[in-house]
Every structure is written in C-alpha cells, then in structure tokens.
Amino acid sequence: MKFDTVIVGAGISGCVLAERLANENNHKVLIIEKRDHIAGNMYDYYNDEGILIHKYGPHFFRTDKEEIWEYLARFTDWHYYEHKVKSSVQGQLVPFPINLDTYNLVHGTGLSTDEFKVKLEENKFTDSPKNAEEAIINQVGEKFYNLFFKNYSIKQWGRSPKELHADTVKRVPVRLDREDRYQLAKYQGLPSKGYTHLFKNLIKSDNIKFLLNTDYKEVIDGVNYDQLIYTGPLDYYFDFKFGKLEYRSLKFEEKTYTTDSFQEEAVINYPNNYAYTRITEYKKMTGQKHHNTTVHYEYPIEYKRGESDPYYPILNDKNADLKDKYISEATSLENVYFIGRLAEYRYYAMDDAVEAALHLYDTKFSKLKS
C-alpha cells in the first residue's frame, strides 16, 4: 500500500498531524509507534480496581488559546478541573507555587501583598543567572531555595542545580497574592472520558493505519511513502552519530487504598523527605467516583535506553551543543519533518505541542493536494 505520509510516534504531535492530513488533505497516513499503545505519555487506562490513572504521571490540560481548546473539543468533552499542588515542608503542607500564604505559613508572619513583594525584590541580585541555582535564589531567596527546590532538583535531575541551565526552572512561578492554582490559564481540564479516548477520536479515520510495538527502523525500508514526520528521539534518528542526548526518566509505584480520599490535593510534592518527589491521587483530577482510590509515588531515575523512557531533556552546555548539531542535520533533509519534545529535544506543555503541530500543518501541508 502506498502512503502519502508516515508518522513516527503516536503521541500528541503525531496524532494531531495525522488527523489534519487524513481529514483535510485526504492523505493516506501510517503511524508507527514503538510502544503498545497510542497517546504517548498522555496515555491513561483503568487499572484492576476500575480507577482511571495516567500511566506516565499526571497530565492536566490548560491553555489560554481558545483555538487550541476548541480544536480538541471536537474530539472530547471536558471535565473542568483547576489543578492545585501542595508541598510538604517543615512538617506542614503549604501552597505551591510559592504565594503569599506559603511565605506566611513558613515564616509564621502576616505579610501583606506589598510587603511580600518587597521581600522578593530583596532577593534579586542579577539579571543574568548563570545556572538554575542562581535563577531560583534570584526569584525566591536562599531560604525558599533550600526548602522547596534544592533537594527536589537533586532528586529530579540527579545533579546539583548549579550544573543545570537557568532555563530549566524558567517555568517556576511565584505568586504575590493568595492565588493557589498551579496554572492561571483561561481553559483548564481533562478529557471527560480520558486522554486515550481523545486520541482514539483524533485518529478515527479510514485514511489512518497504525503499527504498534514497532520500531520504525525495522520496517521503514519496506514502506512506500512520500514524506516522513518524525516525533521520536532526535539522536536515535541519526544513529547517535554525534553522541547521545541525556534525559531523566521516571518510575511509578502504584498503590490502591481502601478509602475514598488519600490526601488533601491531587498532587503533593515532597522536596526533602523520601526518595519520591510527589504523590498523585488521580480521582482528584479526573472527578471519578469510586469507593477506593489509587495513587502514584513518583521516583526520578537515570534514563537508560531500552530500560526506561526519556522524559525530561537535561539542559546543559554539552546537550545544547549536541542538539544544535542534530538540528542542523535535520533541517538539511528533504521531506522529513521533526516535531515534538523528543524530536526537538525540548520541553513542551501539551497546549504548545498541539499548537506546534497545527502550525506545522498550516505552514507545510495545508495547501498540499492528495
């Protein structure tokens, strides 16, 4: 069979592009996925207890872009949910990201918003932090760096924040008021029937075929196609010719408890105690009603190809140089397109990943005719 497009990877980038090409361009699309399921790291399923959990850790969707929310709404109804996180420090649970209440609870004070703002401004010592440690201290001061970030970062990344690029923590927000939502986006929620159901709807087309449990390199020579969209690891495409890009990985310990509720919020961070970094209770995100509850204990681990999954690119000078070499090589190829967190070796929020896929379609494919 002849395919117009082969897409490597059945995550959000690949499936959005498959949907657009199949439905708008009438392309014959083949998706090749190495895992045994679609939906990438957003994959969810019902465990033996009948509780919906996210296999690769908690994912809640948020965006300020109406067009992104409405695009996905074609394929799912939404369960509206505003994510809140607490952090366990000094024997108490406090709001995270750091806000006015966090400061007052930790210090036993009663600062006003204006007074808190002054305290934060006192921490700033540079406009160009050299590493993640300096970037965090610049935002919240040394005490809060030590309480909330230092040990968490060492667990998460397997190295000192001094060894990480400042961009590693650029997503860490600080609130001057008592706002305790993790994100302030206009649209927030989860697919009402789960992410996997959403993905099934995305690729529900007679024009789309897919292979699971398949390494694309084992079959691609036997496939007749015009163009390739690649969402897998950037270095793997080029057979690691310049060296291997570094990642951190995760493992999850799943436990089900015979209680309706296990903890105060869906996610509790543990920056200092224990080997895990956080506990997620999924019912509090999905809104599911069940007499039991399932939680994940999340442990950062070293990434080993073939043994674990690549989650987070490690931002340092060595990997930045390698990435530039691979990206330069990638841009020289014809009819091959690299997109997504692995193929671009960068962090993508889910809405940004959808937007990038739609942008690639609009700029490269929307005027193509089958």
Mean pLDDT of the chain: 96
- 97 and 159 in a single domain? The answer is yes
Instruction: Output the pLDDT for position 368.
Output: 60
Average pLDDT over residues 203-219: 98
Question: For the chain, what's the residue count?
Answer: 370
Answer yes or no: are the C-beta atoms of 143 and 62 closer than 8 Å: no
For the cut 70, the answer to whether the pLDDT of residue 139 exceeds it is: yes
Instruction: Output the pLDDT for position 110.
Output: 97
Query: Does residue 281 sit within a domain?
Result: no
- Among 52-61, 84-93, 122-131, which is the least confidently predicted range? 122-131
**How confident is the model over 293-343, as pLDDT tens digits?**
999 999 999 999 999 999 999 989 999 999 999 999 999 999 999 999 999
- Among 140-149, 172-181, 244-253, 305-314, which is the least confidently predicted range? 172-181
pTM over 0.75: yes
- 229 and 119 in a single domain? The answer is no
- 229 and 326 in a single domain? The answer is yes
Question: What SS3 string covers 186-209?
Answer: CEEEEECCCHHHHHHHHCCCCCEE
How many Cα atoms within 13 Å fall on the side-chain side of residue 286?
23
Average pLDDT over residues 162-179: 86
Residue 244 tokens read as 């291997």
Residue 12 tokens read as 């959000």
Query: Does residue 335 sit within a domain?
Result: yes
**How confident is the model over 219-263, as pLDDT tens digits?**
999 999 999 999 999 999 999 999 999 999 999 999 999 999 999
Q: How far apart are CA 248 and CA 154, in angstroms?
A: 11
Query: Does residue 75 sit within a domain?
Result: no
Domain closes at, from 149, 169, 189: 169
For the cut 70, the answer to whether the pLDDT of residue 75 exceeds it is: yes
pLDDT band at 169 (very low <50, low <70, confident <90, very high): confident
- 9 and 148 in a single domain? The answer is no
Instruction: Output the pLDDT for position 9.
Output: 98
Domain closes at, from 109, 143, 169: 169
What range does the domain containing 153 cover?
Answer: 91-169
Instruction: Collapse the DSSP code of 275 into the 3-class scheme (helix H, G, I; strand E, B; otherwise coil) and give the result.
Output: coil
Rounded to 5 degrees, φ, ψ at 102 are -60, -50
- 138 and 224 in a single domain? The answer is no
Query: Does residue 236 sit within a domain?
Result: yes
Answer yes or no: are the C-beta atoms of 58 and 280 closer than 8 Å: yes
Helix (H) or strand (E) holding 268: strand 267-269
- 218 and 160 in a single domain? The answer is no
- 97 and 237 in a single domain? The answer is no
Helix (H) or strand (E) holding 56: none
70 by Cβ neighbours in 10 Å (0-12 / 13-18 / 19+) ranks as: exposed
Query: Does residue 267 sit within a domain?
Result: no
- Among 158-167, 262-271, 319-328, 342-351, which is the least confidently predicted range? 158-167
Q: How far apart are CA 191 and CA 282, in angstroms?
A: 13
- 142 and 230 in a single domain? The answer is no
Angle, alpha carbons 61-363-6 (nearest 5°): 75
- 104 and 159 in a single domain? The answer is yes
- 241 and 96 in a single domain? The answer is no
pLDDT band at 187 (very low <50, low <70, confident <90, very high): very high
Answer yes or no: are the C-beta atoms of 97 and 172 closer than 8 Å: yes
For the cut 70, the answer to whether the pLDDT of residue 171 exceeds it is: no
Query: Does residue 9 sit within a domain?
Result: yes
Distances (CA, A) of 204 to 199, 201, 271: 9, 5, 42
Instruction: Output the pLDDT for position 370.
Output: 45
Query: Does residue 123 sit within a domain?
Result: yes
Q: Which CATH number does the domain housing residue 8 bear?
A: 3.40.50.720
- 342 and 216 in a single domain? The answer is yes
Helix (H) or strand (E) holding 334: none
Query: Does residue 121 sit within a domain?
Result: yes
Answer yes or no: are the C-beta atoms of 107 and 170 closer than 8 Å: no
Residue 335 tokens read as 């009819």
Domain count, the chain: 2
Domain closes at, from 153, 169, 185: 169
- 95 and 165 in a single domain? The answer is yes
For the cut 80, the answer to whether the pLDDT of residue 131 exceeds it is: yes
For the cut 50, the answer to whether the pLDDT of residue 41 exceeds it is: yes
Residue 166's region, left for phi above 0, alpha for psi from -120 to 50, else beta, is alpha
- For the chain, state the CA radius of gyration: 22
